[in-house]
Structure 1
Amino acid sequence: MRPFVLRCRHLLEEGREKAYALHRQGTLGMQVSTQLADLYDEVVLEVWNEAVAEHGDDDRLSGVSLIAHGGFGRRDLAPYSDADLMLLSMRDSEGLATKLAGNLTRDLSDIGIDPGLSIRTPSEACSLSWSDAVVFSSLAESRFLAGSLQLYKKFFDHYRHGSIRRSRRLVKNIVAARQEEREKWGETNYLLRPNVKRSRGALRDIQLIRWIGFARFGETDLDRLLKLGALPEDDFRLLRNAYGFMLRLRHELHFRSGKSQDVLDRATQMEIAAEWGYEGTEGVLPVEQFMQDYFEKTREVRYSAAYFVEDARSQPLLSRIVERVFSRKIDDKILMGPTSIWVRNDSLESFASNLPDVLRLMSFANQHRRRIQHKTWLAIRLAMRDREPSQPDSESIEAFLSLLSRPGRLASLLRRLHELRLIEQIIPEFARMRGLLQFNAYHKYTVDAHSFLAVEAATDLENSEGGMGRRYRRIEDKRLLHLALLIHDIGKGYEEDHCIVGAEIARRTAERLNLDSSTAETLEWLVLKHLAVNVVAFRHDLSDPQIVLSFAAEVGSIRRLELLVVHTYADLKAVGPGVATDWKVNLIEDLYRRTRRYFDSGDLPGSPDDPEVERNRTRIRESIFELGKKNASSSEETEAAENLLSRLPFSLITRGDPESLAEEIILVAKQKLSGESGTICTAKYDPAINATRYTVIRQEDSLSIGTFSRATGALSTSGLSILRAQIETVDDYAWDHFWATDPNAMKPLVPNDPATAPVFDQRRADQVCERLRSLIDSPDLPLPPHRKTWKAADIAEPESVNLLPKKVVFDNDTIERYTIISIFAYDEVGLLSRIAATLTKLRLVLSFAKIDTHLDQVADVFYVSESDGSRITNSDRQSEVRQALLDVIG
């Protein structure tokens, strides 16, 4: 490299080291950014001077300006930010500008600064800005560096005045572009792995205020916007505080990675929390405390930006006239138009500071599905910020309960109450939920954000045509359901079980809200038992009558059943995208139907006297007869199949569909008559859970767990994910079913057309079946290695973030015949196969298994017994089994 480049490179490295030293001393983020901007200025000007040295006598230099814009322009650089530059050029200087641009790009890249450099004439720069929001927002924060100052001033004055003239259109374009970016990087500011630059409430939303400020007033500086009266003083203070915090955090990410890095992953969260001195509190980890601070800052930015945008997008005059002309009185102070509701100007000041009035307004807005007019809400927001917290009176409580009683726009209105910290004045314990991170990959949002999403998921059912929607509409006291969803996780952040703590808080909340004893009891029960459906539906055998009977006894009534099922569905929907899968929702529905049937008729599904068992047996028998005729089976085969059917356990008869079970019975009967041996395997697509059901049947002279162990190994090494398994023993046959997802078994209806629905690839499933038969029938043949799974570097995380304990829990109380072993661990390739192999070595007989995966965590349940049919009750034996399983999952 040339000595000039080496000298500048050394200058850049030395400058970054000085900035790093300042950062480590706890210097404010804005001060470090300023030092970095000065450093970039120095390096860029050195390169500029080098580039123009050979053109010193060229008159065309008077027609070129070097301009910093974007982050470089506003001087809030991070250590490894790009340098956004533009060469502003007159037409007759474009040739020279092109030569200079080549030198600048080459030298800056060699020095270690990634330049984003463009060449534009003033008219081109303006024209692009008026049509492209990204270009406009970047050039709005332009700063002169070198070249012709006169050219820059003339351009920027014209640019400022042109922006103000086009402000309405520009604001619309800026907001749309920011919305598109938020959808990509995270619509909520409560993300598990936020982007500190682009996620909602992050640095980009502060910049959004600056860009809109330039479009409307020709100013980007927050201080100037404050003096112009465009930005409330409280918002200015909060924005400045958040700005400094997030700049410091962004610097930390850059310095740690030695490159441009804006994603705050979970491992880095833990490290920063420790280095920044967070110690945690009772029930709250240091990392969760740190992220509460982060979310508090982004919440304030989000709300401030939203109000600034709303101000900028004020309704056109005609729309305001229509609202006024067609308005009507709700009471002496409140008016309602076709789309919005507002308070009269002469009553607004006193109204805005009165909590009962504000809650009543929100209840009206919810009841009539109207948007609270911006001017009214802004007055309320400013007044409530200055209001001293106080115990709500009976009028406020009545208005709050009225708000909760209807779906309408309930979730968004509750979020607004939360913004004003009014919910915690009614329910003080709610304050602890604010920005509380659940440090696992299962919950995507903070506790408070999750609670509002749960309320929203329930209210969305109002117009749903499915069974869950019908149940929601049947609930008469919807305020009870909505309140339970709002506070169901209020016990999180304590050392004790959050369900127990939450139930105690629910009882106090009911007393505070003056709920009658019956409603109070149900609220406490809902919060205490809000995980009961998940535990039973996802971790137990629903065909076992004991499970249904035990759950029905716990629920007690149809009313509570419907409340709990709808609550569970809404809670699951609010956990994160893709968590409420069809499989899980269908399991919830199955549990509901079985329990409801018991309440309605007294028939216990799956019990010997269940009429459904005999009806299923009859349907299977009819299918055997029809298949026998179709395949020209001999009378011996049909008779053998019917004999086998008579010996099938109730659980197997009630689980499978009659036709598939009939096919399996015929295959076993034929094998018995022929004297052949070997594994029978069939594969069929199950649309109910969008998975392939593999049936593996094998005659064994030892424990049936052996077949299960080999089958799980064969499936997982084939790249399949097992969702559920059920194991039966019929005579001396192991009769196992596996539901597994296999991306290679689904193919598009039209190749390379993602818009078409996929169809099941039977050929691929048959190949897996052949592999299963080969590996199971050759027990001495080693299983092939598991396929390596690749994760993008930006989402791969070390095991240090896995803070939840790995557990093995024994349950000898739920089922009389079996010990239920529940295993809680972090998911990884081949885990189930290793667990199954361990159970085999322990000589345990497996009767049922259900695999419940929550993104990065699993809760696998196994119904097992000793080889003599007894349960695992001896403490020493339990210790042996527990340790062996912990070894394999650890």
Structure 2
Amino acid sequence: MGGPSLSDVVLLGREQLREGRERCRRVHNQGGHGSQVSTLVSDLYDDIVLEVFNQACRDHFAGEIPAGMALVAHGGFGRRDLAPYSDADLMLITRSRSTAAAERIAQALTRDLVDIGIDVGFALRTTREACSLSWSDPVIFTSLTESRFLGGSLKVFTRFFESLRHGAYLRRARLIRDLIEARREERTKWGVTSYLLTPNVKKSRGGLRDIQMIRWIGFARYGEVDLEKLLRLNTLSREDYRLVRRAYDFLIRLRNELHFRENRAQDILGRATQMEIAEAWNYKAEDGVLPVEAFMQQYFEVTRAVRYIAGFFADDNRSRPLREQLYEWTASRRIDESIRMGPTHIWVDQSELAEFSHSLPRVLRLMSVANHNNRRIGHYTWQAIRNAMQERVPSTPDSESVGAFLSLLSRGSRLAPLLRRLHELRIIEQLIPEFKRTRGLLQFNAYHKYTVDAHSIRAVEAATDFADDQSSMGRRYRRLKDKTLLHLALLIHDIGKGYPEDHSIVGARIARKVGERFDLDSNSIEILEWLVLKHLAVNNVAFRHDLNDTEIVLSFAKEVGSIRRLELLIVHAVADLAAVGPGVLTDWKMKLIEDLYLRTRRYFETGDVDLDQDALAEEIRHQVEASLADDDGESTSHRLLAQLPLSMLRRELPDVLAKQIDQVARSLDEGKTSYCFHHYDPIPSASRYVVIHRQGKQRVGIFARVAGAFMSCGISILRAEIVTLNDLVWDEFWVNDPDHPEDPPESRIEQISERVTHLLDSPEIPVPPRRQKWTMAKAKEPDSVNVLPSKVDFDNETLDRFTIVSFFAYDQTGLLYRIASALSEMGLVIHFAKIDTHLDQVADVFYVTEIDGGKIEQDARKHEVREVLLAIADQDETNSA
């Protein structure tokens, strides 16, 4: 039997909603302003809600609206800036004696509006209840400040709204503090910077929520949410008002676009959508900048303005306790004829402020003094500087300004927030004109989370945070007597991005120009240029090579040249990684970087990459030998131990390694050719599988079959390392098992281990296809998003015995298996591999030889290998496994 039939008001409302949204879509597609479309959506919702409200009154009260209640729109509905699929926040304000009648209306409203297709947030409150909840919950307060009368008793609504306005004014200081804190918590969740590459246009910093915060603070302080009224009250400058209005229309139009594209509520601006919108809105490629980059640069420019205006408005209206202000003044001292410094702030005398704020050298000197003394610049001083610098005509800075800027860069303290302020005022690009290109510049990968300019300043911030770090990296940072070059290099290390040529090479050329422009000495210019050129060297060596190979470390030491440069480069590399995004600088990566640093420094100090390696290996072997189960020096366990190189002896604690060797020896004594066991590695938070295989005549394809076994079980390989011991291959794989992200159960380990050993022991059996799995995850992004080229490099110089093949590409399921299979089919033997996968990109390094043991020497052979691997990178993964 069917359910109850829908009422006429619901059927009519559904049709009205469908036609109304299509009408709004047409206006939007024809170039209608964002606010125009939002007004149309709000009018549509008004008509539907009022019709349902009136029908409820007809059904329950013979068409009469019960006395003592008012229907109120609030939140975005009250503000009339709804997007096409927004929900509708409604409230019935009622007198106590009208509650029973209001409940019947409320039930009909919520039921029918949901049936029509509008998501409804509904509340039934008395005036006292609504106001009381507002004082205790900033989310409720912010929503009710946007209340708008829809129907019922205007007198009831007016009484409620005046009570809310009057109560807010009495509690304004606390409410404003609570609003700012609630917004800070929201930004922490959705993005503390306005330069996120996949932002939430509503909730990320600089988005619509920050514009709304101006309204909410305005209500608490002045009883007004309308921006034009706040302008007339002189609480917003005309220029700020103009920028906010322009930003609002851009952001609301963008939000409408997202809703129309998804046919549902959607506020996340994903990478694929960015490209589609840039094309639909006719952004053009100019000066090497892609249309999507031009579009997103406008987005970041808009949100940057909103971020700063909202921040200043909040500071203007946030009260500091009078006692705190008096203490700051009485405990202050004069720095010069115009500047005073207190316990926490530094500021310019009011009488000097107008002239002072227009002088770039004096402003930069003030920032330098604030940074050196770890003081915040007073709000009114900074506001005057901001207004003056916005009016200033950009010009080439004089030597005094450059000197003050270098002085600012010489200390950590408050350097990063001051650089952000300088960037907002476009002063950095006056000092370093090439920095202008980085403003809002996308980095089109999931590895980076921020635009180039935001990442660069975050890198400076990551370095200055080392000042209070008790780790070895903190000690190295503090050991740098002059930090100017480090901070400057971090600020400009990615300045070469956005050009066709390698960004490190372009950046190094720009770094030299910057050094000459700043009149640095020749040695400082050389170091600055070198730091920018080599800023990825630590990552390339530590994450993609065998650090136990002395040739690798010697080659790196030769590039570095001195302990001073090593310290600079290591701190630079770690700060750069920390600034990429959350979770990028893992304990695993820090361990590898630290290992590289210690080996290289030891070489500079002693002339040896390692201490006496033979003696160290012998010492560890004795420790392991003491824990072996068998005392017979001729046993398989002892013979295995004798073969292990120092790199493997160092991988485990001696007793753990002894157990592994005993396990492998038993399996070999039993005639097995393959063995696989599992450990959970807490450092990278990944499962680690150790695979041992006696090769026999099968010298190629072993790595590929292991990778295929993991792929067929639905497991992705994060990292891999290979060691060959005469006839024995001893491989280690760090993997991500989506079914068991933590330590997997024994049954799962057995399933995977059996799959690996079976495929190795039966080379004639084809590798099973990768496991297919139903998922509710969002569909894979289109290939058009992957704008960085795949790359294959060959290095025959670093190692005597092997060709190093480096492969860079966007990740795909089963990619490593296909690469390893291709190398095997081309007759190449993999002797060592280091797999580095992060989010959407892989950087795999293989030490390979031809089957006869020679390197890949001939250009034709290199071309063949490169073409095969690039074809794999470009292959559609849906047709590959």
Task: State the TM bucket, normalised to the shorter chain.
Answer: over 0.9
Equivalence for 2:468: 463
State which of 553, 557, 561 in structure 2 corresponds to 1:552.
557
Give the drift of 1:731: 2.5
Q: 1:121 to 1:622 in 2, by over 3 A?
A: closer
Matched, 1:595 2:600: yes
Distance 1:436 1:713 in 2: 39
Equivalence for 2:631: 633
Equivalence for 2:408: 403
Distance 2:332 2:90 in 1: 52
Equivalence for 1:779: 763
What root-mean-square deviation, in Å, do the aligned CA atoms of Structure 1 and Structure 2 show?
A: 2.4
Matched, 1:617 2:597: no
Equivalence for 2:784: 800
Q: 1:644 to 1:177 in 2, by over 3 A?
A: closer
Equivalence for 1:191: 196
Give the drift of 1:570: 0.2
Q: 1:736 to 1:861 in 2, by over 3 A?
A: same
Give the drift of 1:655: 6.1
What pairs up with 1:794-873 in 2 under 5 angstroms?
A: 796-873=780-857
Equivalence for 1:392: 397
Equivalence for 2:581: 576
Equivalence for 1:711: 706
State which of 656, 668, 672 in structure 2 corresponds to 1:677.
672
Q: Which runs of 5+ in 1 are unaligned?
A: 748-758
Distance 1:572 1:153 in 2: 56
Distance 1:824 1:379 in 2: 49
The TM-score with structure 1 as length reference comes to 0.93
What pairs up with 1:115-264 in 2 under 5 angstroms?
A: 115-264=120-269
Distance 2:365 2:207 in 1: 33
The C-alpha deviation readout for 1:631-670, integer Å capped at 9, x for no partner, is 2433431xx6555555555665566665555555555666
Equivalence for 1:514: 519
Matched, 1:452 2:450: no
Distance 2:325 2:312 in 1: 18
Give the drift of 1:5: 2.9
Equivalence for 1:694: 689
Distance 1:411 1:560 in 2: 23
Q: 1:535 to 1:727 in 2, by over 3 A?
A: same
- Secondary structure in structure 2 of the residue aligned to 1:636: coil
State which of 107, 113, 121 in structure 2 corresponds to 1:108.
113
Query: Quick check: 1:725–1:736 contact (8 Å CA) kept in 2?
Result: yes
Give the drift of 1:297: 0.5
Paired residue type of 1:681: C
Distance 1:279 1:825 in 2: 27
The C-alpha deviation readout for 1:435-463, integer Å capped at 9, x for no partner, is 11111111100111101110011011112
Q: 1:383 to 1:621 in 2, by over 3 A?
A: same
Distance 1:300 1:436 in 2: 16
Give the drift of 1:734: 2.0
Give the drift of 1:479: 0.7
Equivalence for 1:528: 533
The C-alpha deviation readout for 1:586-637, integer Å capped at 9, x for no partner, is 11111111111111111134xxxx612332133214422x134xx2433431
Query: Quick check: 1:726–1:847 contact (8 Å CA) kept in 2?
Result: no
The C-alpha deviation readout for 1:239-279, integer Å capped at 9, x for no partner, is 00100000110110111111111111111100000011112
Q: 1:790 to 1:577 in 2, by over 3 A?
A: farther
Query: Quick check: 1:60–1:92 contact (8 Å CA) kept in 2?
Result: no
State which of 714, 717, 726 in structure 1 corresponds to 2:721.
726
Distance 1:614 1:768 in 2: 38
Equivalence for 2:566: 561
Distance 2:152 2:509 in 1: 70
Q: 1:615 to 1:120 in 2, by over 3 A?
A: same
| More off after superposition, 248-257 vs 158-167 | 158-167
The C-alpha deviation readout for 1:816-850, integer Å capped at 9, x for no partner, is 22122222222233222222222222221110000
Distance 1:695 1:320 in 2: 64
| More off after superposition, 302-311 vs 95-104 | 95-104
Q: 1:598 to 1:38 in 2, by over 3 A?
A: same
- Secondary structure in structure 2 of the residue aligned to 1:734: strand
Give the drift of 1:415: 0.5
What pairs up with 1:724-763 in 2 under 5 angstroms?
A: 724-741=719-736
The C-alpha deviation readout for 1:480-507, integer Å capped at 9, x for no partner, is 1000000111111222211111111111
Query: Quick check: 1:213–1:225 contact (8 Å CA) kept in 2?
Result: yes
- Secondary structure in structure 1 of the residue aligned to 2:555: helix
Q: 1:310 to 1:537 in 2, by over 3 A?
A: same
The C-alpha deviation readout for 1:36-77, integer Å capped at 9, x for no partner, is 222222222222222222455688722111111111111111
Give the drift of 1:205: 0.6
Matched, 1:287 2:292: yes
State which of 309, 316, 320 in structure 1 corresponds to 2:314.
309
Q: 1:147 to 1:402 in 2, by over 3 A?
A: same
Query: Quick check: 2:792–2:807 contact (8 Å CA) kept in 1?
Result: yes
Distance 2:464 2:343 in 1: 22
Distance 2:473 2:179 in 1: 39
Distance 2:65 2:740 in 1: 66
| More off after superposition, 205-214 vs 695-704 | 695-704
Query: Quick check: 2:186–2:203 contact (8 Å CA) kept in 1?
Result: yes
The TM-score with structure 2 as length reference comes to 0.94
Q: 1:588 to 1:120 in 2, by over 3 A?
A: same
Q: Which runs of 5+ in 2 are unaligned?
A: 1-5, 876-881
Q: 1:635 to 1:375 in 2, by over 3 A?
A: closer
Query: Quick check: 1:33–1:76 contact (8 Å CA) kept in 2?
Result: yes
- Secondary structure in structure 1 of the residue aligned to 2:631: coil
Give the drift of 1:814: 2.4
Give the drift of 1:375: 1.2
Equivalence for 1:750: none
Equivalence for 1:751: none
State which of 52, 57, 64 in structure 2 corresponds to 1:52.
57
Query: Quick check: 2:177–2:318 contact (8 Å CA) kept in 1?
Result: yes
State which of 308, 314, 323 in structure 1 corresponds to 2:328.
323
Give the drift of 1:179: 1.7
Give the drift of 1:797: 2.8
Identity percentage over the alignment?
58
Query: Quick check: 2:200–2:267 contact (8 Å CA) kept in 1?
Result: yes
- Secondary structure in structure 2 of the residue aligned to 1:335: strand
Give the drift of 1:888: 3.3
The count of residues paired between Structure 1 and Structure 2 equals 869
Query: Quick check: 2:719–2:837 contact (8 Å CA) kept in 1?
Result: no
Give the drift of 1:199: 1.1
Q: 1:405 to 1:393 in 2, by over 3 A?
A: same
Paired residue type of 2:53: W
- Secondary structure in structure 2 of the residue aligned to 1:195: coil
Give the drift of 1:740: 3.5
Q: 1:500 to 1:774 in 2, by over 3 A?
A: same
Give the drift of 1:702: 2.2
Distance 2:853 2:811 in 1: 30
